[in-house]
Chain A
């Protein structure tokens, strides 16, 4: 079977997986929890409750409710988000691109630092560079997020300006709204970087990137250690393999042996770890987004939980599940491409 056939078949299967996700969230929201809670407060007139139930169809049999729930999902009619002060669909369209941008930048930093560091560690096994990278990784893994986030803010937005008069990095938000107005920036997709590049607005693109740097480094720092250690151990394992001896026996240059023959094998476990990381981060990093007042999914869901906004929480669960399933699919396809031995 060809790779694209495999991809197509997996996408077809995806439909059923997603149906399963909707069924689970439906049971969670309508059967295990009281769906009425989102529409009723202690001040609501008890006499109005049956009408509210009727209005939202909560008086219908469950299978019928599930059907309507599916219809609403497909027509993107998911109700109102209390904490977002907008419809759920608008809220997701507003908050998700922020998280996606942050995640992508964080993952890029993670891989750009983590993989080379892991390779160097493996090549300099138990030498100074390896020890240094081990210490760095352990610090990254064990440092608390809030401490790292706040420290970065302190150093890069306050201290370098105070001590050296250097331009500070922004520490909150996604972009400078004043700059957006002055440069005539318009939202199209909600991805600020993408939108400003489409409009050829390099100033805004730079501003959006500057806003991403500190939260992305915070997120990346936690994951670099994981990727470094994984790349290192995987690379060490691969360098012991017979096919590496074979490549050397045929005089292939060192860089070919390491960066082609060994690395492609060594990256196989790194890909699956990155996929999981990506899926996790796309759900929104609650702590990091809160510290940097970064209006993403983590920030939204955190407030939804605090303010008992079950509609938003559920929408969040659905979105996070869909993302996770899709990312998993992509990982499996990349996996199949990297490792031809995989049976599909």
Chain B
């Protein structure tokens, strides 16, 4: 079990220092990702999905503080690494695909130039070549090979282009090619399809799934879209206000959601095709500067009890499923209500 684990995030707490006060973006996030697994991270906007992804890569902006927690990646504690050691993991072992390929590709360099620097920095095989011309040839061949793998049309022409000359789908294919070209152990894909047209979304997802299978890469797939997770992931973590309130296999969570928040999401699912609109859950996400006491979801929860207003629920393990809710806590409530 432990051997097959690639990532373990435990009790991660992240705060942003802002003029408005301390934004408590993550309030104890815990989850694991197994080798070769696609783990889906779902939740409304502002629930902390992107912050979780950036924290794992240690790419949080300067006003962020990791208050507490542990991130163990492939046996190493990432938070205790020196910056230059961490930088060796980025690109080589962990890569990323981002939401908006338009803003994440550098507008003033050609695709070739950007891809080339990524390969020159990270690829061991290419780094071991001595001859300059052979390096260029190896770089070129690898780029073309990867672009062919992501079914990029006319790769030889595309590499000479600048990002603005590519369509959204082409740019996202480019990012996938970059992410997989380094054969990383983990890819963090933050809303990789949200900015794309629905038809292209499906193609890009399909492509990501097949590459992931082929290379046995572990993926954290961050998305609003529960449909995307259902199609792509083996397990899901549902985030709310900086905590993962429920974790389990996609099958079990979709067929029998435990947490009232997850239940609300699932009820909203048939009507929500693209955006996650939690129509059956009234109210809105809490202010992270001034979190309510007790369970952060209680103001919106139709099944809230007295205790929910006072005490934060513990993390419970119910038949291999993890949930944070007093409803299932025999000690704090009157017992299992399901």
A: residues with CB less than 8 A from B are 241-243, 245-253, 256, 260-261, 264-265, 268, 338-341
Contact = CB atoms under 8 A, between A and B. Distances in A.
Interface stretch (B11-19, B100-108, B246-254): B100-108
Contact of A248 (B59, B92, B107): B59
A251 B162 contact: no
Contacts of B109: 261, 264
B137 interface: no
Contacts of B89: 251
B96 A249 contact: yes
Given A245-B98, A341-B108, 19 more contacts: A242-B104, A243-B105, A245-B54, A245-B104, A246-B104, A247-B106, A250-B95, A250-B121, A251-B89, A251-B92, A251-B121, A252-B91, A252-B121, A256-B117, A260-B117, A261-B109, A264-B108, A338-B108, A341-B164
A265 B105 CA distance: 12
A249 B117 contact: no
Given A249-B59, A250-B178, A251-B89, A243 B118 contact: no
Nearest to A252: B121
B49 to A, nearest CB: 15
A2 B246 CA distance: 55
A241 B90 CA distance: 18
A250 B59 contact: no
A160 B122 CA distance: 55
B148 interface: no
Contacts of B118: 250, 252
B59 A243 contact: no
Given A242-B98, A242-B100, A249 B107 contact: no
Interface of B: 54, 57, 59, 87-92, 95-96, 98, 100, 103-110, 117-118, 121-122, 162, 164, 178, 182
B165 to A, nearest CB: 8
A305 to B, nearest CB: 44
Contacts of A250: 90-91, 95-96, 118, 121-122, 178, 182
B7 to A, nearest CB: 16
A261 B110 CA distance: 11
Contacts of B88: 251
A260 B110 CA distance: 13
Contacts of A248: 59, 90
A243 B105 CA distance: 5
12 contacts: A246-B104, A247-B106, A249-B57, A249-B98, A251-B87, A251-B91, A256-B117, A256-B121, A264-B108, A265-B108, A340-B162, A341-B107
The 9 closest A-B pairs by CB, nearest first: A251-B91, A251-B90, A242-B103, A250-B91, A243-B106, A249-B96, A340-B162, A246-B104, A242-B104
Interface of chain B, main secondary structure: mixed
Most B-side CB within 10 Å, residue of A246, A247, A260: A246
A341 B106 CA distance: 11
A107 to B, nearest CB: 23
Nearest to B106: A243
B200 to A, nearest CB: 20
A245 B96 CA distance: 10
Given A245-B104, A265-B107, A252 B57 contact: no
A50 to B, nearest CB: 64
Contacts of A246: 96, 98, 104-106
Contacts of B110: 340
A129 to B, nearest CB: 16
Contacts of B105: 243, 246
A243 B107 contact: yes
Nearest to A243: B106
A246 B98 CA distance: 8
B57 A253 contact: no
B106 A261 contact: yes
A231 to B, nearest CB: 16
B122 A243 contact: no
Contacts of A261: 106, 109
A241 B103 contact: yes
A247 B59 CA distance: 11
Contacts of A339: 107-108
A249 B108 contact: no
Of listed A241, A251, A341, residue having the most chain B CB within 10 A: A251
Contacts of B90: 248-251
Given A250-B118, A339-B108, A340-B108, A243 B87 contact: no
A248 B54 CA distance: 11
B59 A245 contact: yes
A256 B104 CA distance: 16
